[in-house]
Amino acid sequence: MEEGYEFEFESNGGPWGPEQEAAVAVENLYYEAQDCLQAVHLLEEVVQREADVVHKPWTCKALLSLTLLALGEGNFDCAGAHYQRLLQQMPTVAAGEAAATVEAVLSAAAKLVGGQVLEKLMLYTLEALTSQGMKDDPTVRSAKALRTAFEASDIAGVEEHLQLLGATDPFVSHCREALLEAVRLRRLLCVASCYSAFSLKRLQQTLRLSYKATLNLVLQVIRQGRLVAVVDDEARVVRLRGLRNQDVTANGQLLSQWGNSLHEFIGRLETFLVKEPQNMTSRGGFSGVPYAAHIY
């Protein structure tokens, strides 16, 4: 055997000590779970083993894997629960890793699930934005207003707060497109529950999109079966035949919430926004007053 380096392996305590060996055991367990039929149980064990330590490098990875596995299996309730646990661990990792983790979940959700599930995940993300940090921090206050705007389906308000937060918060910069897509879906279905037909040009102004992007969004919702409608290309009008019952109920409640929370929402904005908040109707959107069976 040629002369060279000699390696010494020790199993009892080893040259690293018990803490380092425990960390290696957790890491090995995580990688073992990637191709194991009992992956869920092994990943949960990873989380349990790091429960009592300050730095949890493998807990976030394990919870991310659990979330993505549940999304892939179509178990959206389970995915949401894992994602909430994952968001609670974000302060334990670097900002860049936290942002990449959130982006991975939202990107996967955008491809695998419908608008309602994506919306729920976005709300969980916004809850994490508002709960992590000091109450009086301007970023936290802006995050709260962002959530209020999202729940009110206020697209312009969401865009405004994304711009305010994007420079300082990694969550926002990475989930921007998914959040805008979700709030536009909310607003589109809200409008569809109030009118029997509506102009694509006016909808374009409301959604703050190009005409082509607006048309693509409408067609996407029709293909998903969430909106029973036809697009009149010549008149550039969407004519509704009906909504799924659950969407009618949900959007009726949404419209009511939007009307009730508008004044409170504007009051919150006045506390920290540089610009004076504009009325929703001045942004070129629908007034929010339903006129069923009429063309807008």
- Phi and psi of 87, rounded to 5°? -60, -30
Burial label for 59, CB within 10 Å (0-12, 13-18, 19+), is buried
What's the order of all strands across the beta sheet hosting 237-243? 197-199, 237-243, 227-232
* pLDDT, tens digit, 9 for 90 and up, residues 151-161: 888 898 888 88
CATH code, residues 195-257: 1.10.10.10
Q: Which three-class secondary structure string do you get for 87-120?
A: HHCHHHCCHHHHHHHHHHHHHHHHHHCCHHHHHH
Distance CA 130, CA 165 (A): 12
Q: Residue 86: what pLDDT?
A: 92
Return the structure tokens found at 82: 């894992």
Burial label for 165, CB within 10 Å (0-12, 13-18, 19+), is buried
* pLDDT, tens digit, 9 for 90 and up, residues 173-193: 667 787 888 889 889 988 888
> Tokens 């909310």 identify what position?
186
- Sign of the Cα pseudo-torsion (63, 65, 68, 69, in order): negative
- Phi and psi of 94, rounded to 5°? -65, 155
Answer whether residue 18 shows pLDDT above 60: no
The CATH architecture to which 18-194 belongs is: Alpha Horseshoe (1.25)
What one-character DSSP code corresponds to residue 218? H
* pLDDT, tens digit, 9 for 90 and up, residues 99-129: 788 888 888 887 777 667 777 888 888 777 6
Answer whether residue 279 shows pLDDT above 60: no
Distance CA 134, CA 91 (A): 13
Q: Which three-class secondary structure string do you get for 155-171?
A: HHHHHHHHHHHHCCCHH
For residues 234 and 23, the model is more confident at: 234
Distance CA 59, CA 45 (A): 10
- Phi and psi of 231, rounded to 5°? -100, 120
Mean local confidence (pLDDT), 267-280: 40
Half-sphere exposure of 289 (CA within 13 A, CB side): 2
For residues 97 and 38, the model is more confident at: 97
Pair 231, 218: CB distance under 8 Å? yes
Answer whether residue 212 shows pLDDT above 90: yes
Answer whether residue 269 shows pLDDT above 70: no
Q: Residue 54: what pLDDT?
A: 75
State if pTM tops 0.75: no
* pLDDT, tens digit, 9 for 90 and up, residues 42-74: 888 888 888 887 777 788 888 998 998 888 888
Around Cβ 188, how many Cβ atoms within 10 Å? 25
Answer whether residue 205 shows pLDDT above 70: yes
Mean local confidence (pLDDT), 33-45: 68
Q: Residue 168: what pLDDT?
A: 64
Return the structure tokens found at 123: 């709300």
Q: What percentage of the chain has pLDDT greater than the value 70? A: 60
Going from N- to C-terminal start, the domains of the chain cover 18-194, 195-257
Return the structure tokens found at 83: 């994602």
For residues 253 and 197, the model is more confident at: 197
Return the structure tokens found at 175: 């989930």
